[in-house]
Amino acid sequence: MVTPQDTRPLARCRAHTSPMELPPTSLKGKMPRPYSEIPGNWKTSWFNLYFFWKDGGFHNVHSMMVRNFQQFGPIYREKLGIYESINIIDPEDAAVLFKHEGLARWDGGLGRGPESDRLVLNKEALSLQTIDNFVPLLNEVGEDFVKRVYIQIRSSAHGRWTADLTNELFRFALESVCNVLYGTRLGLLQDFIDPENQQFIDAITLMFHSTSPMLYIPPGLLRRINSKTWQNHVKAWDTIFQHADKCIQNMYRDLRLNRKSAKEYMGILSRLLLQDKLPIENIKASITEMMAGGVDTTSITLQWAMYELARAPAMQEQLRSEVFAAKAASQGDVLKMVKSVPLLKAAIKEVLRLHPVAVTIQRYTTQEIVLQNYLIPAKTLVQVGTYAMGRDPRFFTKPELFNPERWLSEDSRHFRGLSFGFGPRQCLGRRIAELEMYLFLIHMLANFKIEMKRGVEVGTTFDLILIPDKPIHLTLRPLDSHPRAKEEFPSASGAR
């Protein structure tokens, strides 16, 4: 899940790795070279920004980073206008950077909360003891999405449904994350959407779009001239916070009236309110951050996942077999089934390698560190080029290929899968997003064959997050020919 934490590019963190011992740098013991000797374009900052804009950098920053690493090597310094950063690509350098990070976090615009805030939030959103509660909430949304697909197939009169699923997946993602956060459904998988919920959907899109121009242009300037971009940005966030505030007030009402059983899990918000360990404004900011950031990012990743599986039918069948085997072994236990699909989980990692939501992971150094034998001062912005790393043959064999099995070997994991960040400041919505995507693909693979026209290539464009540069039209066809589909997932036949 990605949230614009400020007007710097993609300050959101992501990771897909488990904690492991940090590797020693191969340059340890050597006299580091000074910061001023780091290669790159940083001496003519405003000319750099002009040429960056002229070359379409606002929508092509990921490809530009790939070229910069090819030109300057594994580390380079860049300054665009007032924005200055050090960019790295080597996984061992990323390990050094994460080792020296702190717990400070952005809380949605209300200031930086103390470390204790983040520890409380981590326990409720990332703890393995807590996330089991998310499974039934996310699973029911996935089942309803399957029913919606069957309705569309019936109405098509062609025995299949072909569409650009961008909006459908957006609604699915918002319905999913809100069910986990608030323990309630918004009804976004119905044909009619409440106008207030539609306004929220539109506000999320506007927020992402209006943030992009402010990545390198000083926001203060846009505010002073009251530009249309600034007006749209403020309007979008006002709508997002109003929607979140309404949901929080509804939860307060339900808790006061004891409308839900004490044994029933009522979502992350209710847990935070009942614990009374955080100020209400901090809770509101964190919940809003997860809600706003958990929509485009998850829905776009699922769109890319179906795109890659449609182009790799053999892998799609392999994953489908794993899903049916896991279903049979779990005997209806959804949580057990989710834990029994390692290849499917690897497929999500592979999708995020090829199509990361964030171009970079950003950290400010808390002390002096050495990267590539250069001394990096404290309080320096360092960016790990996640997109560039995923496309580099030094770190991934045949990086252009969609090969989920690469993640099943130990040598491919070490600080190479950083889609959700790493450590105490990893993405707060990581567990929600992972479970949401696992369950979605389980349901889709168990019920439908995913297809698209042959020879269709879709690229990426940068709009605060990486998105497809053109619509992806997918075809969903029921698995009538699969002998185990109706037996293993009776809801598939019952929905038709």
Q: Give pLDDT tens digits for 104-113.
A: 443 333 334 4
Residues in the chain, total: 496
206: tokens are 């506007």
What are 470-490's pLDDT values in tens digits? 999 999 999 974 444 444 444
Distances in Å between the Cα of 224 and the Cα atoms of 220, 228, 297 are 6, 11, 31
pLDDT confidence of residue 10: 32
427 is annotated as contributing to ligand binding: yes
Q: What pLDDT is recorded for position 116?
A: 63
pLDDT of 289: 80
pLDDT at position 194 is: 81
136: nearest Cα among 433, 342, 439, 493: 439
Give the model's pLDDT for residue 5: 38
Instruction: Please work out, in degrees rounded to the nearest 5, the angle formed at the alpha carbon of residue 94 by the alpha carbons of 350 and 367.
Output: 155
Contact call for residues 282 and 113 (beta carbons, < 8 A): yes
Mean pLDDT per 10-residue segment, the chain (496 residues): 38 33 46 94 80 77 92 94 90 89 41 60 78 91 96 91 94 92 86 83 84 76 88 91 82 70 72 81 82 83 97 97 96 92 96 93 90 94 94 93 90 73 78 94 97 90 88 93 44 42
Max Cα distance, the chain (Å)? 71
pTM of the prediction? Answer: 0.82
C-alpha distances in Å from residue 467, one per residue of 54, 452, 495:
21, 18, 32
Cβ burial, residue 262 (10 Å; 0-12/13-18/19+): exposed
Asked if 408 and 346 count as a contact pair (C-beta separation under 8 A), the reply is yes
Cα distances from 225 to residues 218, 234, 265, in angstroms, run: 11, 14, 48
- pLDDT of res. 330: 94
Nearest to 132 by CA among 337, 318, 422: 337
User: Given this model, what pLDDT does residue 483 score?
Assistant: 43
So what's the pLDDT on residue 107? 33
**CA–CA separation, 173 and 245 (whole Å):** 19
Q: State the pLDDT at residue 2.
A: 43
Task: State the CB neighbour count (10 A cutoff) for residue 451.
Answer: 18
Tokens standing for residue 178 = 């809100």
Question: What's the pLDDT score for residue 263?
Answer: 54
CB 496 within 8 A of CB 150: yes
